[in-house]
Amino acid sequence: MASEKPLVAVTCTAPVNIAVIKYWGKRDEDLILPINSSLSVTLHQDQLKTTTTAAISKDFTEDRIWLNGREEDVGQPRLQACLREIRRLARKRRSAGDEDPLPLSLSYKVHIASVNNFPTAAGLASSAAGYACLAYALARLYGVESDLSEVARRGSGSACRSLYGGFVEWQMGERADGKDSIARQVAPESHWPELRVLILVVSAEKKLMGSTAGMQTSVETSSLLRFRAESVVPARMAEMTRCVQERDFQGFGQLTMKDSNQFHATCLDTFPPISYLSDTSRRIVQLVHCFNAHHGQTKVAYTFDAGPNAVVFALDDTVPEFVAAVRQCFPPESNGDKFLKGLPVRPVPLSDELKAALDVDPTPGGVKYIIATQVGPGPQILDDRQAHLLGPDGLPKPAA
């Protein structure tokens, strides 16, 4: 009896990605096909990651899922689409007669547990990391080796971009069945070692209007969005790819800011209008432009997704001074030591000239904290059994 494995489990981690050319709007709701291509930067998992364990056993009576320790509804359409897609690929592989190392019945039920090391739904792209991680873990479990873009995409569109490290493009594709709507790496994580990413967390509250509802309203009502998708994005994709390949920070930074601003303009052009930025977000925009004007060049660049948190790109030699500028404009409320998380940043004093140039009234506590990170790799398998989030009984292990 002991020789029979009661359960087979796989654990992996996956990264968050931040789009610098934004995805907003679907041409197919069900297959999650976008109206334009997008390009993103994969963030390092040392700072932000989702960890997922997927397990199958003949003893499980139903599919079940736990997120951050709480059991969630396994019947959500997107989760079901993901499971259906991976099981379809596994069946296809089997009927192709490939050698099968895992003689697991595809009728067995799966248990999934997933945890984020950052706040969920706070505008930190948790669904992208989550579905990329799920697709990757399930593929390992079922022995699927084909491209996982479609599996991840059915969960969350931007999740297909989290399947790779470095700089990633999601090609919108032309086909109605979406087979050519896939992610591919533009440059690996080692390509631009000086690039740094600062996440300025403005609020960790759940947002008023989620991305799914927001983008559909935009598709239905914004003529600006259609113009963006058809007439602006294609040239921007080419230009952004060039900036990344040539490590041209000035070009990269300016285009990143312009594309973020245009995305938020399409949100305002939506009817009724959607606003994801807060007063603090707008102050950060002003701070970045002041900082760059003072230096006479683009040294830092912001981008905002469907939420108020700012993601700021800079080269490593600019980071200490910019962090000092953020502290000046948004004096930390009491948690001075906890204000900066992630990669260490050496403290530097602000020059009087820059202080004078930062023409903003200080807003204490406007920025809750900063996560300093860098470009990172794609999903990773954790081989250590201790890493599994599910115990031998297929239920979540109690939190240590």
Residue 2 lies in a domain: no
**82 and 38 share one domain:** yes
pLDDT per residue as tens digits for the range 156-184 = 999 999 999 999 999 999 999 999 999 99
| 209 and 68 within one domain | no
From CA 351, how far away is CA 357, in angstroms rounded? 10
Q: What does the pLDDT look like over 212-258, one tens digit per residue?
A: 888 999 999 999 999 999 999 999 999 999 999 999 999 999 999 99
pLDDT in the model for residue 1: 39
The yes-or-no verdict on residue 381 having pLDDT over 60 is yes
- What is the distance between the alpha carbons of residues 61 and 109, in angstroms, rounded to a whole number? 6
> Which domain, by its residues, includes 331?
195-374
Q: How far apart are CA 310 and CA 386, in angstroms?
A: 35
pLDDT tens, position by position, 324-379? 999 999 999 876 678 999 999 999 999 999 999 997 789 999 999 999 999 999 99
C-beta separation of 191 from 105 below 8 A: no
pLDDT given at position 3:
43
Do residues 132 and 209 both lie within one domain? Answer: no
Same domain, 265 and 352: yes
Enter the pTM of the model: 0.94
Residue 392 falls inside a structural domain: no
SS (H, E, C) 228-273: HHHHHHHHHHHHHHHHHHCCCHHHHHHHHHHHHHHHHHHHHHCCCC
Say yes or no to pLDDT of 48 above 80.
yes
Instruction: Provide CB contacts within 8 A for 199, sequence distance 6+.
Output: 48, 124, 309, 310, 311, 312, 370, 371, 373
Q: Is 372 helix (H, G, I), strand (E, B) or coil?
A: strand
pLDDT at 117 over 60: yes
Do 36 and 124 lie in one domain? The reply is yes
Percent of all residues in the chain with a pLDDT value above 70, rounded to a whole number: 92
Which tokens belong to 60?
């499980």
Q: 342 and 320 in one domain?
A: yes
Q: What CATH number is associated with residue 168?
A: 3.30.230.10
Q: Is pLDDT of 205 > 80?
A: no
How far, in Å, CA of 238 to CA of 268, rounded?
A: 26
181 and 296 share one domain: no
* Residue closest to 17 by CA, chosen among 140, 183, 243, 212: 183
Q: What is the mean pLDDT of the chain?
A: 92
Distance CA 251, CA 34 (A): 25
Give the domain CATH number at 354: 3.30.70.890
Domain presence at residue 40: yes
**Do 145 and 69 share a structural domain?**
yes
Alpha carbon distances (Å) from 99 to 95, 143, 251: 10, 10, 49
- Mean pLDDT computed over 21-50: 97
The answer to whether 261 touches 224, Cβ cutoff 8 Å, is no
> How far is it, in rounded angstroms, from Cα 268 to Cα 156?
23
Q: Is residue 113 in a domain?
A: yes
Same domain, 208 and 96: no
Whole-number Å distance between alpha carbons of 185 and 61 = 39
Q: Is residue 400 in a domain?
A: no
217 in the same domain as 303: yes
206 pLDDT more than 70: no
Three-state SS for 19?
Answer: strand
In this structure, the answer to whether residues 132 and 252 fall within a common structural domain is: no
Residue 347 and residue 320: Cα distance in Å, rounded?
6
The pLDDT of residue 106 is 84
Q: What is the mean pLDDT of residues 254-267?
A: 98
325 contacts 349 by C-beta, under 8 angstroms: no
Give how many domains the chain has, as a whole number: 2
- Specify if 399 maps to a domain: no
Residues 344 and 237 in one domain: yes
**397 domain residue, yes or no:** no
- In this structure, are residues 111 and 394 in contact, taking their beta carbons and an 8 Å threshold? yes
Overall average pLDDT of the 284-312 stretch: 97
